[in-house]
Amino acid sequence: MSQPTINQDYFVVKAKENGVHVIGLTRGSDTRFHHTEKLDKGEVMIFQFTEHTSAIKVRGKAVIYSQHGVVDTTE
């Protein structure tokens, strides 16, 4: 079994309300949902892009922190 590719591209999602969904989307020719997390107000989760995850969808009020800056979904 090969080791997964480790990417240094981390980001943090902080929920501003209950029920914020963070959805991982797959790589490849068919983009599909492959993982979902539900965060409640004040919860923080650190995410990382992997060989299987090429995109993330955030649904709900949250603040996203990454090396590219800060995004507030309410703005």
pLDDT tens digits along 11-70: 999 999 999 999 988 877 777 878 899 999 999 999 888 777 788 899 999 999 999 999
DSSP result, the chain: -PPPPEEEEEEEEEESSTTEEEEEEE-SSS--EEEEEEE-TT-EEEEEEESSEEEEEEESSEEEEETTEEEETT-
Q: What is the pLDDT of residue 2?
A: 56
Q: Considering its fold, how many domains does the chain have in total?
A: 1
Cβ neighbors of 69 (< 8 A, separation 6 or more) are: none
More confident: 63 or 5: 63
Domain-located, residue 10: no
Domain-located, residue 24: yes
| Domain that residue 20 falls in | 16-69
Predicted TM-score (pTM) of the model is 0.80
Domain-located, residue 7: no
Q: What is the pLDDT of residue 14?
A: 98
What is the CATH classification number for the domain harbouring 39? 2.60.40.50
Domain-located, residue 9: no
Domain-located, residue 60: yes
State the pairing for strand pair 6-15/44-50.
Answer: antiparallel
